[in-house]
Structures are given as C-alpha cells and as structure tokens.
Amino acid sequence: MHDHSETIRRMKTAEGHLRGIQRMLENDAYCIDVIRQIQAVQGSLNKISTMILDQHLNSCLITAVQGENPDERERVLREIADVFEAATKV
C-alpha cells in the first residue's frame, strides 16, 4: 500500500491552479500570463508524475524483478519503457 497523501495534496493544488487559469481566460487575462500559469501547472504535473514513478520503481518494479515469474518481469519492464516512449512523443 502506498502513501499517496503528498501526491493527492499536489494534485489538488494543480487542480486549483487549473481553475485559476480557467478564470483568467474567462476574464480575458493577458495571454503571456495565462501561458506562464499553464507552464507552472505542467511543471507541477511533471513533478507528480515523477513522484508516482519513483514509488512504482521502488515497489512494483522491485517486486516483479525479484519475483519468479519472467513474464511479469517483462511486463513491468515493458510498462516502464512504454511510459518513457510516450513521454518523448509529447
């Protein structure tokens, strides 16, 4: 079982920032200010993603690699590779 309290806190903060961006757009805020806020949220989401990946590597991945099932090891390693591949396409 993972402790997701910090991750959830950061997600709620990012959610609040997204709502703020929506209000900025509704109030016709200066475009560059909106873009800066979007970039800040993207940075926050990247940090959250990194935190979750770190938890995964230190729990699920280690369990699979130390396990007896080679198919499970391959599956988990493929998932990691797929995540990195998808990140480079963005």
In 1-90, which residue ranges form alpha helices assigned H by DSSP? 5-26, 31-56, 62-66, 70-89
pLDDT at 37: 97
For the chain, residues with pLDDT lower than 70 are 90
Residue type, 90: V
Q: CB-based contacts of 61: which residues, under 8 Å, 6+ apart? A: 76, 77, 80
Residue pair 44/17 in contact by the 8 Å Cβ criterion = yes
pLDDT at 86: 87
Residue pair 57/79 in contact by the 8 Å Cβ criterion = no
Between CA 89 and CA 86 the distance in angstroms is: 5
pLDDT at 90: 61
What tens digit of pLDDT does each residue of 20-39 get? 999 999 999 999 999 999 99
Residues present in the chain in total: 90
SS3 19: helix
pLDDT at 5: 95
Domains of the chain, each with CATH number or no CATH: 5-89 (1.20.58.1000)
